[in-house]
């Protein structure tokens, strides 16, 4: 029989092991893509901090912990997954769409300045719509706050993943065997928290490598990084429809 401590250790180990081969394939391209487009912080000698990656991972772990808590609370994997399945597909498509927009905005192929392109006298609806889209894309591409990385991480936490499902099944099982719903919730939440912590090092490493070698990559592969982002975005949208 597993003790509570060894259960959490097992979840951490599962996340750590799965993070290398599994999460790095699913979330790794997202992390690499946003890392390649990070703006320098302005601090001399340390232009790129680890904060975006920390907030991104914190967001992801938050989502895992909440869903894990719900699995533990209800003791049912199937019911919760059924309830969030549509939302998972929407989140995956949404992240894909945002990545495509950022990829297009940073490709340099189009002009996406914050300044309005419409002359004050212009009344064309088409021009107004174009301008609104341009401003929207510019806003998404340029917003790089801790909060935006946290939200991106939270949204990424909804991306369906087989490894994650196994962790949720374990949380639901632990919740079903708990004495009360509160205990089940806490157990499920902590299990997924430790699982999430385990998956963080590999994604953190991908992000740091990508950001540190950002200039090297961008110098040699001009516009490729934007194209990479667009491809990953399209892949996520395709997967969301197939899911």
Partner 1 sequence: MRAGISIVLLCCLLLAAHAPVQAATEAPDCFIDQGPCTKTATGRQVAFEILPRPVKAMKELTFAVRAIGRNTAPTVLLDLSMPGMYMGRNEVILKKTPDGSYSGKGIIPRCPSGKKLWRAEVTIPGAGKVSYTFNVNP
- Choose the binding region for partner 1 from 23-31, 40-48, 62-70, 109-117 (rule: CB under 8 A): 23-31
Residues 97, 140, 205, 234: which binds partner 1 (CB under 8 A)?
A: 205
Cβ of residue 98: shortest distance to partner 1, in angstroms?
19
**234 lines the binding site for partner 1 (CB under 8 A):** no
Q: Could you give the C-alpha distances from 241 to 5, 22, 91, in angstroms and in order?
A: 39, 21, 11
Residues 163, 197, 200, 237: which binds partner 1 (CB under 8 A)?
A: 163
**29 lines the binding site for partner 1 (CB under 8 A):** yes
Residues 70, 91, 189, 210: which binds partner 1 (CB under 8 A)?
A: 210
> Rounded distance, CA 110 to CA 105, Å?
7
CB 141 within 8 A of CB 134: no
**22 lines the binding site for partner 1 (CB under 8 A):** yes
First vs last Cα of the chain: how many Å apart? Answer: 36
Please name the residue ranges forming H helices in 75-180.
77-106, 125-142, 146-156, 162-176
151 CB contacts (<8 Å, ≥6 apart)? Answer: 59
**What residues numbered 79-118 form the site for partner 1, per CB under 8 A?**
81
Cβ of residue 24: shortest distance to partner 1, in angstroms?
5
Cβ of residue 136: shortest distance to partner 1, in angstroms?
29
Cβ of residue 158: shortest distance to partner 1, in angstroms?
12
CB 77 within 8 A of CB 174: no
**17 lines the binding site for partner 1 (CB under 8 A):** yes
Residues 84, 141, 151, 169: which binds partner 1 (CB under 8 A)?
A: 169
Residues 66, 160, 218, 231: which binds partner 1 (CB under 8 A)?
A: 160
Structure tokens at 208: 């740091």
**239 lines the binding site for partner 1 (CB under 8 A):** yes
Q: Could you give the C-alpha distances from 224 to 45, 180, 228, in angstroms and in order?
A: 27, 53, 6
**25 lines the binding site for partner 1 (CB under 8 A):** yes
With b meaning 16 or more CB within 10 Å and e meaning fewer, what string describes 117-141?
eeeeeeeeeeeeeebeebbebbebb
> Rounded distance, CA 168 to CA 83, Å?
14
Interacting residues with partner 1 (CB under 8 A): 10, 14, 17-18, 20-26, 28-29, 32, 77-78, 81, 159-163, 165-167, 169-170, 202, 205-206, 209-210, 212-213, 216-217, 239, 242-243
């Amino acid at each position: 029989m597993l003790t509570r401590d060894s259960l959490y250790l097992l979840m951490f180990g599962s996340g750590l092991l799965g993070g290398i081969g599994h999460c790095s394939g699913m979330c790794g391209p997202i992390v690499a893509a946003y890392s390649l487009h990070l703006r320098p912080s302005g601090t001399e000698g340390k232009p790129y901090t680890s904060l975006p990656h920390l907030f991104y991972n914190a967001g992801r772990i938050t989502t895992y912990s909440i869903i894990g808590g719900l699995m533990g609370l209800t003791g049912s994997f199937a019911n919760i997954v059924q309830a969030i399945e549509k939302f998972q597909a929407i989140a995956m498509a949404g992240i894909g769409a945002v990545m495509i927009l950022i990829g297009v905005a940073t490709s340099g192929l189009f002009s996406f300045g914050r300044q309005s392109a419409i002359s004050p006298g212009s009344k064309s609806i088409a021009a107004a719509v174009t301008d609104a889209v341009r401003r929207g894309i510019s806003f998404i591409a340029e917003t790089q706050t801790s909060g935006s990385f946290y939200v991106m991480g939270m949204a990424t936490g909804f991306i369906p993943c087989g490894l994650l499902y196994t962790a949720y099944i374990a949380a639901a099982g632990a919740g079903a065997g708990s004495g009360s719903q509160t205990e089940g919730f806490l157990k499920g939440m902590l299990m997924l928290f430790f699982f999430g912590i385990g998956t963080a090092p590999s994604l953190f490493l991908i992000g740091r490598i990508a950001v540190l070698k950002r200039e090297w990559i961008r110098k040699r592969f001009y516009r490729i990084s934007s194209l990479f982002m667009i491809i990953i975005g399209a892949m996520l949208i395709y997967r969301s429809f197939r899911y």
